[in-house]
């Protein structure tokens, strides 16, 4: 089932990316990000790992592309790497102390840094919120239906980071504007 799903989702997302960004450097950057996210989603879902071969070059490519795209700027991209990777590294340390076992893998930290490089520091917060919300909802449902999740109490968070990032690519500006206009008005 995975193979036909990947074959369906990949061109669909690439066409939507073209439709959203046109034939620009933004399209190129978001297409690369989308392809990495699709791969990450299915690898993490199946094997519970996020390969460095995807994320480490992704951090560099995302940052380099920030010199060619309108958004994020190279400074926003650099801050995104620091905020994304730094927040997840801090969360991993605190989780390890709190739960007395590994609470987050290094792949999630590197993926968050990569997402920050491609999306910038503002959208990385949106990705974290959406990912946590989706992860919590699916995690609770999985606790009820999945024997493996009941046993391990673990869900592969990289899959939810990938979903959150796709949502941020297509709806990030709209969601951030909605939040600011709804909750941060004086």
Q: What is the per-residue pLDDT across 72-110, written as a single tens digit (0 to 9) for each?
A: 999 999 999 999 999 999 988 998 899 888 778 899 999
- Predicted confidence at residue 100, as pLDDT, reads 85
- Rounded to whole angstroms, the Cα distance separating 69 from 153 reads 40
* DSSP label of 24: S
The number of C-alpha atoms within 13 Å of 167 and in the hemisphere containing its C-beta is 18
- Rounded to whole angstroms, the Cα distance separating 86 from 98 reads 18
- Rounded to whole angstroms, the Cα distance separating 86 from 48 reads 21
- Rounded to whole angstroms, the Cα distance separating 25 from 57 reads 18
Tokens of 4: 């036909």
Query: How many other C-beta atoms are found inside a 10 Å radius of the C-beta of residue 98?
Result: 9
- Rounded to whole angstroms, the Cα distance separating 112 from 104 reads 12
- Predicted confidence at residue 186, as pLDDT, reads 66
> Residue 31: helix, strand or coil by DSSP?
helix
Residue 104: closest CA among 114, 94, 113:
94
Range of the domain at 128: 2-183
Evaluate whether 80 touches 117 at the Cβ level (below 8 Å): yes
- Predicted confidence at residue 132, as pLDDT, reads 92
Evaluate whether 160 touches 138 at the Cβ level (below 8 Å): yes
- Predicted confidence at residue 80, as pLDDT, reads 97
- Predicted confidence at residue 124, as pLDDT, reads 95
Q: What is the per-residue pLDDT across 55-81, written as a single tens digit (0 to 9) for each?
A: 999 999 999 999 999 999 999 999 999
When divided into structural domains, the chain yields a total of 1
Q: What is the per-residue pLDDT across 120-161, written as a single tens digit (0 to 9) for each?
A: 999 999 999 999 999 889 888 877 777 665 566 667 889 999
pTM summary value: 0.90
């Amino acid at each position: 089932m995975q193979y036909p799903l990947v074959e369906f989702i990949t061109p669909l997302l690439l066409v939507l990316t073209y439709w959203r960004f046109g034939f620009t450097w933004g399209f190129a950057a978001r297409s690369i990000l989308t392809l990495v996210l699709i791969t990450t989603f299915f690898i993490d879902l199946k094997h519970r790992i996020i390969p460095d071969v995807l994320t480490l070059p992704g951090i560099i490519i995302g940052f380099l592309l920030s010199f060619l795209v309108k958004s994020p700027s190279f400074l926003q991209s650099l801050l995104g790497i620091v905020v994304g990777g730094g927040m997840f590294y801090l969360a991993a340390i605190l989780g390890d102390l709190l739960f007395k076992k590994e609470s987050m893998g290094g792949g999630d930290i590197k993926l968050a840094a990569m997402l920050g490089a491609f999306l910038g520091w503002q959208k990385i917060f949106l990705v974290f919120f959406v990912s946590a919300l989706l992860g919590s909802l699916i995690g609770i449902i999985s606790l009820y239906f999945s024997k493996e999740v009941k046993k391990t109490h673990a869900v592969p968070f990289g899959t939810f980071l990938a979903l959150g990032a796709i949502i941020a690519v297509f709806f990030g500006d709209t969601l951030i504007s909605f939040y600011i206009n709804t909750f941060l008005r004086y």
